[in-house]
Amino acid sequence: MQRVVITGMGAVTPLGHTASTTWSAMCEGRAAIGRITTLPRESLRFGIAAEVRDFDPLRHFDEKKLILLDRVSQFALVAAREAIAQSGIDFSADALGENTAVIIGSGIGGELTHDEQSRRLYAENNPRLHPLSIVRTMANAPACQISIEHKLTGPSFATVSACASANHALAQAFHMVRSGVADAAVAGGTEACLSYGVIKAWEAMRVMADDTCRPFCKQRHGMVLGEGAGVFVLETLERAQRRGATILAEFVGAGMSADAGDIVFPSEAGAAKAIQRALTDGGLAADDIDYINAHGTGTPGNDPTESKAIRRVFGAHADKLAVSSTKSMHAHALGAAGAIELVAAIGALRDGVVPPTTNFLDPDPECDLDYVPNVAREMRVRAALSNSFAFGGLNAVLALRRAS
């Protein structure tokens, strides 16, 4: 088993079009949640979301390429370019590209293409659909487009597990590189889900907030939808050191579990099992962890359950943990959430700054941890976890350690 490190990260989020601008906004506690600008608000119950604004595809792709790409693939490709450029990796060296994996999670895939073609077919009664609808819509399109653009011919696939999709993709990439199945990996998550149909479907579940996202606080009313992408380059420590790469963080473990219970309401036991497995897989003790980037959706059910799961695993050390939910700033990007939140975990490890849980008002007695309310905190972070708990009871937790 080889040690695995992260040497590149890229992001396109409501907080910024790069990983660095996204991280800076997190540290500032700057929220990107606001009124939806791309849909008719009068037909929406609440009409708030975290959009990636001012993203011009023609700045990144020529028109010939763009006809192949749904917004979900556009985000992933731009984030991957940033991550690969930062890593400084040369995939042509030693035929590395032949055994580099590409694994990208997405909960929905090319939803905007699907929504638009459905509108044409059913609302306009127009049987002539875009001839590239399938290749734009399929959930594996972002992974395929990255592998094509960078000539990466190793294992390439998508993970589709709702809000745990990105963390499942990153966990699979980590295990493949650690075991030697792949020499390197480009992995993460992407989502462009702010379509009329998706928002109306989420509204029907009665889990959406009417004001903003307030994880863990007494006044929380529910979740807010977001979009974006986060992509990372993983390689072995030995390879990174040999080529003199800058190491952002060491990826030490991943824990996964299934609640095998309610398809919507989360399980404390299932979440705790994934957390414990991440610690065990990474060879970490409970008191090695200083920070947890929580799933923290702001719903009445999720936040107390996650808090109890953390207490179950960490015992007395839970009172010493800094726990925050950056969804309070970039909202819930579903299958991309874990990838965007990994930017926060890596930033905390590198810069010694824990991003806050913004919009926090009064504490909830059922949520009794230190949620770093409203203002970022400077502190040394030795090791961190990033939690993702999805509908269907699918849990994925990543464990990272500060680069030495």
Q: 4-242 and 253-401: same fold?
A: yes
Packing angle of the helix pair 111-118, 196-204 (nearest 10 deg): 100
Identify the band that residue 93 occupies on the pLDDT scale cut at 50, 70 and 90.
confident
- Classify 352 in phi/psi space as left (phi over 0), alpha (psi -120 to 50) or beta: left
Encoded amino acid at 220, one letter: R
Q: Which strand (E) or helix (H) includes residue 117?
A: helix 111-118
Encoded amino acid at 175, one letter: H
DSSP labels for 341-387? HHHHHHHHHHHSEEPPB-S--SB-TT--SB--BSS-EE---SEEEEE
Specify the fold of 4-242. Answer: Peroxisomal Thiolase; Chain A, domain 1 (3.40.47)
Q: Which strand (E) or helix (H) includes residue 395?
A: strand 394-401
Residue 41 has pLDDT above 90, yes or no: no
At 136-156, the pLDDT tens digits run: 999 999 999 999 999 999 999
At 272-291, the pLDDT tens digits run: 999 999 999 999 999 999 99
Given this model, what pLDDT does residue 40 score? Answer: 86
Identify the band that residue 216 occupies on the pLDDT scale cut at 50, 70 and 90.
very high
Indicate the CATH number of 253-401 among 3.40.47.10, 3.30.465.10, 3.40.50.970, 3.40.50.1220.
3.40.47.10
At 185-211, the pLDDT tens digits run: 999 999 999 999 999 999 999 999 999
* Domain residue spans of the chain: 4-242, 253-401
What does each C-alpha distance from 327 to 29, 54, 357 come to in angstroms? 11, 20, 8
Average pLDDT of the chain to the nearest whole number: 97
Give the residue numbers annotated as catalytic, written as ranges. Answer: 163, 295, 332
DSSP labels for 173-212? HHHHHHHTS-SEEEEEEEE----HHHHHHHHHTT-B-SS-
Cβ contacts of 37 within 8 Å, gap of 6 or more: 51, 53
Given this model, what pLDDT does residue 163 score? Answer: 98
Tokens standing for residue 395: 């849990």
What does each C-alpha distance from 97 to 150, 152, 331, 377 come to in angstroms? 8, 5, 34, 40
Nearest to 12 by CA among 333, 326, 230, 191: 230
